Amino acid sequence: MQKTVTVVGAGIVGVCCALHLQREGFKVRLIDKGEPGMKASFGNSGSFGTASCVPFAMPGVLKKVPKMLFDSESPLKLRWSHVPRALPWFLRFIAAARPSRVEEIAAARNSLLVHTHAGYAPLIEGADASKWVDNNGLMMVFENEATFEGAAYALDLRRRNGVHMDILDGNEARQMEPALSKKVVKAVSLPDVSRTIDPFRLTESLAKDFVRRGGEIVNTEVRGFEIGADGPTRIITDRGPLEIEQVVIAAGVWSRPLAKQLGTSVPLEAERGYHVMFANQDFALKRALVSADRNVSLAHMHEGIRATGVAEFAAPDAPPDMRNAEMVKRQAMALVPGLKGEPASQWMGPRPSHPDSKPVIGRSPRHKNVLFAFGHDHLGLTMAGITGKLVAELATGKPTTVDLAPFRPDRF
Ligand SMILES: Cc1cc2nc3c(=O)[nH]c(=O)nc-3n(C[C@H](O)[C@H](O)[C@H](O)COP(=O)(O)OP(=O)(O)OC[C@H]3O[C@@H](n4cnc5c(N)ncnc54)[C@H](O)[C@@H]3O)c2cc1C
């Protein structure tokens, strides 16, 4: 009899898990309370951030965070009502900024990033989805020499993790991206970074391919589990119970309460990001742009130029605060002065973030038939392919392509 796996969550991570499991011969059921790819995976910046081994907690963060919280133009936002819940997360975040931990976390992130292409290639090819992928690279830009000097350690960390970079002055940067502000004085070109021109459509194409290959998508909310002597036997949904053999929890930031019901506590918080879409512009951006001074990213998407930014700590389902999107818009227009008109749309999505900038990928310490795949923070799009491959390897009992010790669910 064909073995079955149920994947909870049809964001980019769950969809990639489902496709890789299918390729290993499992009969796969993918459950989502909404449509596939409509939450965090809908509106991200689209970069396959293979150069992003640098964690978010870096040496010196303890000095910076309090100042950032009181600066209205800072990308870091914390809703005061959320402070009691977020405090333990921030304490762990600060602990993760010790130099030795930063080196170890960067190496762990990189151990996944080097497999980005291998994790995705068969899925993108199989779904005929390469039209959603572009290989023009990414450029980090700096408007102050001091910001560039402040980035020296992060650049060195990238270099030591094998990332290819070219350092440019402002004029060289504008030759490559003429739309950039004259204030840009330094840039780092990362030619090997690729991206999708529409993260939602990429996820949707992969989900359709999953169905075409015999997969089942069930539209229902998972509320809990019936747990027997050998682990969960049924999922409780708003449409009644479903029998399960193996289950993968890949529900983005909503994985925390599900993991808790399965006996594993994780410090997973919603780090909510915002985007604005500028439609009908009379110029193009060739590559993704990331501003170190303004903390915004810009990329030319299928339907216009998308600017993204902000890390707002709040409950995942709390209403968005579109003043944050306004700030992203202002900063984007200062970096690329040719941007015109009011944004065609604004959006908020919750990055699922752990304080040590690493996802959880592994078997539940409590139940042999439960696998976890969540908490990919700013890199969920990038890491989804390899995460899916690793989950499929775990489900079959094969040795895993990457050492999963740094991503253990019980490491906190
Ligand atoms: C502004 C912004 C920019 C970003 N830029 C990048 C980038 O350039 N590169 C990159 O790699 N990453 C980027 N990210 C991060 C990336 O978008 C996320 O890490 C990724 O989308 C997370 O995917 P996921 O599948 O884990 O979660 P999600 O996409 O949130 O999917 C989780 C799914 O689980 C479902 N679900 C939840 N609970 C239940 C339940 N109880 N029952 C049934 N279904 C449930 C939800 O409906 C949802 O569809 C960015 C994020 C933001 C916000």
pLDDT classification of 168: cutoffs 50, 70, 90: very high
pLDDT for residue 70: 83
* Burial category of 94 from C-beta neighbours within 10 Å (exposed 0-12, middle 13-18, buried 19 and up): middle
pLDDT of 72 higher than 90 = no
Judged against a pLDDT cut of 80, whether residue 1 lies above it is answered with: no
Query: Residue 329 above 90 pLDDT?
Result: yes
Give the model confidence (pLDDT) of 290-317 as tens digits: 999 999 999 999 999 999 999 999 999 9
Task: Tell me how far the alpha carbon of residue 182 lies from the centroid of ligand 1, in angstroms.
Answer: 35
What's the confidence (pLDDT) of residue 66? 81
**How sure is the predictor about 61, in pLDDT bands with cuts at 50, 70 and 90?**
confident
Instruction: State residue 62's pLDDT score.
Output: 85
Q: Measured from the CB, is residue 374 less than 6 Å from ligand 1?
A: yes
Where does the pLDDT of residue 67 fall: very low under 50, low under 70, confident under 90, or very high at 90 and above? confident
In this predicted structure, what is the pLDDT of residue 68?
86
Q: Is the CB of 308 under 6 A from ligand 1?
A: yes
Residues 6+ apart with CB under 8 A from 402: 111, 112, 115, 386, 390
Residue-wise pLDDT for 182-213, tens only, equals 999 999 999 999 999 999 999 999 999 999 99
What token pair was written down for 340?
A: 């015109």
Check whether 347 has a pLDDT greater than 80: yes
- Is the CB of 45 inside a 6 Å radius of any atom of ligand 1? yes
Q: Which residues pair with 196 in a beta bridge?
A: 133
Residue 49 Cβ < 6 Å to ligand 1? yes
pLDDT at 351 over 80: yes
- Model confidence over 383-395: pLDDT tens digits? 999 999 999 999 9
Q: Whose CA is nearest to atom 15 of ligand 1?
A: 378
Structure confidence at residue 286 (pLDDT)? 96
C-alpha–C-alpha distance, residues 265 and 257, integer Å: 8
> Residue 37 Cα, ligand 1 centroid: separation in angstroms?
7
Mark 229-248 as b/e (b = at least 16 C-beta within 10 Å).
Answer: eebbeebbbeeeebebebbb
**Strand-strand pairing, 194-196 and 216-219:** unpaired
Question: Exposed/middle/buried for 66, CB within 10 Å: 0-12, 13-18, 19+?
Answer: exposed
CA distance 157 to 246: 38
State yes or no: pLDDT of 171 exceeds 80. yes
pLDDT of amino acid 322: 97
Q: What is the pLDDT of residues 15-59, one digit of tens each?
A: 999 999 999 999 999 999 999 999 999 999 999 999 999 999 999
Q: What is residue 64's predicted lDDT score, i.e. its pLDDT?
A: 86
pLDDT tens-digit map of 85-143: 999 999 999 999 999 999 999 999 999 999 999 999 999 999 999 999 999 999 999 99
Minimum CA distance residue for ligand 1 atom 14? 378
- Return the best residue to mutate from 15, 20, 32 for the ligand 1 pocket (most ligand atoms within 8 A of CB): 32
pLDDT (mean) for 227-243: 96
Q: Please indicate whether residue 12, judged by its CB atom, sits closer than 6 Å to ligand 1.
A: yes
State the Cα angle at 405 between 158 and 412, rounded to 5°. 95
CA 353 from centre of chain? 9
Ligand 1 mean position, distance from CA 360 (Å): 14
User: β-strand 231-237 against 240-243: which pairing, if any?
Assistant: antiparallel
Helices (H), ranges, 166-309? 170-176, 199-212, 255-261
| Mean pLDDT of the region 344-356 | 98
State in Å: Cα 145 to ligand 1 middle. Answer: 35
Give the mean pLDDT of 271-288: 96
| pLDDT-derived band at 79, boundaries 50, 70, 90 | confident
Contacts of residue 208, defined as CB under 8 A and 6 or more positions apart, other chains included, come to: 127
Looking at ligand 1, which atom is closest to the CA of residue 377?
19
Q: 351 CB under 6 A from ligand 1?
A: yes
